Amino acid sequence: MGSVAERLAAVQARVDAACERSGRGPDEVRLMAVSKTQPPERIREAYEAGCRLFGENKVQEAQQKAIELVDLPDLRWAFIGHLQTNKAKDVAGWASELHALDSLKLARILNRRLHDSGRDLDVFIQVNSSGEASKFGLAPEAVPDFAVELQAFSTLKVRGLMTLAVFSDDQGALRACFERMRGLRARLQDLGSAALAADQLSMGMSGDFELAIEYGATTVRVGEAIFGPRSTERTKF
C-alpha cells in the first residue's frame, strides 16, 4: 500500500506525466488532496510530504481540522461540497477557496460575512457539465450571466470554473464534459472583462484526472490514491 508520502509522490508523478503528454508544464496543474473523513494526523503526513492544498466537504469536520492544524500556516483549505447558505458564515472563516459556487444567494451571504471579517475568498463557479439532474451546478449556458453578476461582490475573487464530470468509463462521455468546460472558459474570456479573465479549471478526480489535464484542468482532486481507502467506521473530530 505504501505510506502517504509514497502515494502522494506516485500521484504527483502521474500528474507530471499527463502534463508532459499534453505539452504543459508541471507547474500548470495543482494537486488537491481530498482529505474528507481523514484524521488530522493523515493530513499532517501529506503536508510534510509537500502537499499544501486540501479539500473538504463537511463544514463542521473541516472547521475542527483547521483548528487542530493551525500551526501549518501555508496550508490551504478548499471547500468542495455543496454549501448550504446557513453554513456560509462558517466557511467564510477558514476556507481559502470555494469550488462550489452556484447561486447568487450564497454569493451575497458569503460576501457579507467576508466583508465583516476583512477576508477575500477565491471562488470557482460550479458547472453541471454532464446535465445530470442529480448534480449541483449551473447549466453551461447560465454561467456567463452569472459570472457577470458576481462582479458586484468585492470579496469573491472568481478564479475559474469547477465541474464533476459524468461518472462513467465511457471516454467519449468524459471528453464531452471536459471539452464543454474548456469551451466555456474560452467563452468567458472572450467577453473581454478583466473581472472575467479567470482561467482556472477545477476538474478531474482519481479516475479521470489525467484526461482532465489533457483538456486544460489546472486543479485536480485526488483522495484515496493519496490517503488510502477511507475507514468504514464513523470518524469523530
Mean pLDDT, residues 171-178 taken together: 95
**pTM, whole model, 2 decimals?**
0.92
Which position has the grid cell 475568498?
Answer: 121
Under 8 Å between Cβ of 73 and 45:
no
Residue of 91, 99, 50 lying closest to 72 (CA atoms):
50
Which residues are CB-contacts of 173 (< 8 A; sequence separation ≥ 6)?
A: 130, 165, 166
The domain spanning residue 78 has which CATH number?
Answer: 3.20.20.10
Mean pLDDT, residues 164-193 taken together: 88
Under 8 Å between Cβ of 121 and 96:
yes
For Cα atoms 162, 163, 165, give the angle at the middle one, nearest 5 degrees: 155
Is the residue at 67 inside a domain?
Answer: yes
Is the residue at 161 inside a domain?
Answer: yes
Is the residue at 24 inside a domain?
Answer: yes
Please give the tally of structural domains in the chain: 1
End-to-end CA distance of the chain: 25
| 124, burial (CB in 10 Å: exposed 0-12, middle 13-18, buried 19+) | buried
Is the residue at 214 inside a domain?
Answer: yes
Is the residue at 166 inside a domain?
Answer: yes
Is the residue at 125 inside a domain?
Answer: yes
179-213 residue pLDDT tens: 999 999 998 888 765 445 678 999 999 999 999 99
The confidence score (pLDDT) of residue 234 equals 46
Is the residue at 235 inside a domain?
Answer: no
Which residue range(s) make up the domain with 171?
Answer: 4-227
Is the residue at 54 inside a domain?
Answer: yes
